Chain A
């Protein structure tokens, strides 16, 4: 209850709270603010590269190259800090959406900053290694942006208001019903059903998870085996019906897991490569100063 007496006392200390109200995605954030900033930065670099006359030619060691290199290295460190920002719940106002937006567009601008920093001199050395790692990080990030922009809808459509736990529970419920329904079956018919009951919905390697194809699915196998035995037997019909329902539930869960895996897999490339990049970058910077 808003009692005015408290409010009066608190007036001096009452901090105006910030309220994020705009409904816009991270790519559109603030009218593409960071896209504009990043684009302008790239344009500035490309134009000034052409206009500034560095002797004997553009390379990483010129004053111009050092400038770009410094900007690039600091930017890389700042971009890495997103991982910290995301998890650090301080009470001041910040928007992770704004950070993501800046991360994406400034990250993309590194293509220009980094490449133009090299003066297009690439070779088989630690310097180029750092550049290659940087490009790989950016590429994996680009994949991330694409899946973030396209997959959420599919994730939402597939789950149809169910949570992952509910999907699992649905499968377990079919398992329990199958267990009861399969009791009157002959041992030969029960075997594939038992195999289907033993199946772990989470089993499978990364490839099956990412492709969503499960060729050795025990439920599908049981369904095939029992479908061939159909023919008026009410008990088998009941089990087949349950198996079909379980398969549908499994398909939904697998699709859910597949989309989630696709949304996450790139981070397992993006983040480790970032650390490799920082290591290569350190080697690159140290070696440059060592051989000055």
Chain B
């Protein structure tokens, strides 16, 4: 056993390395424990020459190690030098298996059996976990890899993928791409592919049928040799050629390990992080958690935290975090001047949703937020504006314009804008500052994070949003007090796409409010479901049953996954009885709907086939996910001549890359939904963007600002396959020199061959490319402008049905 150290750092990634370098600089006794034989394994495993980006740009680097955008080799080389220069004491092959003891006397046991004693522990192990290894002879050979960075690194090889989860299938599909001419085999120990997504399984089966890969079930590797792999199959052993083995057998998540030390997490769900103090100390005194494990996936954050945490351990409590300057900038425009910490405390005291937020979380939320001073009467946002951020009132009050000249105040400490946050729809009312005051605008991502990590904040936001939504729907002088009973009994339910909520003919008096997603209303006419209506988020249904006491007169089902607020008929009736005006307004709305139903029914008799087609087209549109779209490109194939000018225009309006694939996608009744962004209400791509660069723009477009790190999360999360990972091609000669002199590849996206020839050996960084609805281009979307025949149209959900109407010719 060696001498006890002041601090042991587990994990030599950017966070751990930076911490060790700081300790080295300060002359603290320390040890950096790394389980492999090199520093920073995650980055080490990047493909050769991969560019590593240094985002966020505005954040200053505070570390004894260097870091700037550059190739993987350059960064790793720098770090090796920095580790040596800062006298970092690294212990390689030190795979920590157990931590015992308490602050001042921890004992860290490694897989080799060594025990290291330390006063403090800095946990910087990241979130990758340990990949499970093959368990057969030869499992230590170097041609076994555990991840595929770029399928194009493999050409004309015999590749065997072991593991049948999503990761394995995606890797196999990647390397099985025909142009790469690989011979790909995927092995599955069991008979079926139960662990993978249905889409991946069907893609793989298709590739198997087309001969792009061979799929072997009930088969596992038995012996690995260079160039060969012996398989154990149901019919005996078999030896196949194999140059590369991709092992995707899952990994041991670090959470179990972390929890075994006694560290508590903020919640049971996957997104939860360890509970931390402002100095990164976990619930176990003496153990500090930094980096990706603490919820900071970006390299720069990690390195700064490594520096800070060692300073804290060394007793430098006066250190302000590196984001101090950025936070100061957030508060800089306010009329009063206060230090950052006072401002944070001011907000926590005055705003209800911030009450339970820890100081460390508060710093982070404020970095993603804006604070501004409003003079009395200033408009915060207007009705119909797009926007999904949440506002909190720190000082003063806001006024909601509910009707011409009628305003309702929102008091200090409360919030507004939550409807946009939850439903993704446009703003429902204009809001003005009621007095001179200070409002905080929290971005959608930060607000969702807040709700996920602070249960108290979530409860407040949900309650307020429910009350507001109901007030907005049932106007007519309703107050929050009237709603008390209804809201207390209300229940939020989630329904998957296609699920029937109300069935025609059944008895029932519950009323539903659509919080997010959308519904379709259908009526059974002559044994066929006839599409009646599309209900967007913010509308309600089921009220006819309460008013008339009759059975349901139509079926309502979810067009996409949706959230509903279920109100009991009893509570709803009481609310109506308390406010006669509300009852009158609701009855009027009901009458209007009933009229529409009768109209459809009467037309059905005379135009039965037309109504059928209308109904089928509408359900096709919903099935293609357009129910969650806010603006989608459709192509009328009665008009499309296949010239692909839309794709060319798209490429030429952006960096030479087309964001749409006209020919791909589904078609019904000559209405074609090409592979192109639908600008979803709740963009799946936004869900997990480490640098947080995907946003919704002022025209409702979902776009990416610069700063993409090329991780590909958005591409994988998009259910419609509309995001590409691609590097922008080099600039090409102008249109005239192509037209007159034949120079360059001409309009549209240049062929990969041309691009390759221009670039030579250079391999530029691939980043995510998606439709931005031609943001910032005054003429509007280029695909539509450039369509010579009028086949390309962009539509929002309200317009889909007019497109589905077939009573007018278009040619």
Contact = CB atoms under 8 A, between A and B. Distances in A.
A3 B441 contact: yes
Interface string B594-612: 0000000000000000000
Interface string B675-704: 000000000000000000001111100000
Contacts, number: 173
B164 to A, nearest CB: 22
A151 B209 CA distance: 33
A96 B788 contact: yes
Contacts of A151: 641
| Chain B interface size, under 10 / 10 to 19 / 20 to 34 / 35 or more | 35 or more
B649 interface: yes
Interface residues of A, number: 57
Contact of A84 (B638, B661, B739, B810): B739
A97 interface: yes
B670 A92 contact: no
A90 B779 contact: yes
Interface string B143-166: 000000000000000000000000
A161 B667 contact: yes
A22 to B, nearest CB: 8
Most chain B Cβ neighbours within 10 Å, of A4, A29, A99: A4
A153 B810 CA distance: 13
A92 B779 CA distance: 4
A149 B698 contact: no
Contact of B389 (A1, A97, A100, A156): A1
B787 interface: yes
Interface string A149-175: 101110110011101100001101100
Interface in B17-56: none
Contacts of A91: 653, 777-779
Interface in A61-108: 84, 86-97, 99-100
Interface stretch (A13-21, A50-58, A189-197, A283-291): A13-21
A25 interface: yes
A162 to B, nearest CB: 8
A151 B441 CA distance: 54
A86 B786 CA distance: 7
B396 interface: no
Contacts of B667: 156, 160-161
Interface string B408-445: 00000000000000000000000000000000010110
B778 A92 contact: yes
Interface stretch (B302-310, B494-502, B537-545, B789-797): B789-797
B441 A5 contact: yes
Contacts of B735: 84, 87-88
B178 A169 contact: yes
A148 B789 contact: yes
Contacts of B279: none
A1 B381 CA distance: 13
Nearest to A161: B667
Nearest to A165: B663
A203 interface: no
B747 A155 contact: no
Contacts of A19: 780, 794
A177 interface: yes
A216 interface: no
Contacts of A1: 387-389, 443-444, 695-696
B370 A5 contact: yes
B664 interface: yes
Contact of B803 (A23, A92, A94, A100): A23
Nearest to A155: B642
Interface string B767-789: 00000000001111110111111
A7 interface: yes
B111 interface: no
Contact of B441 (A4, A87, A88, A263): A4
Contacts of A23: 636, 790, 793, 802-803, 810
A25 B811 contact: yes
Contacts of B777: 17, 91
A2 B811 contact: no
Contacts of B788: 26, 86, 96-97, 99-100
Given A91-B778, A155-B642, A173-B211, 10 more contacts: A3-B389, A7-B698, A17-B699, A20-B780, A25-B638, A25-B810, A26-B790, A28-B809, A156-B637, A163-B661
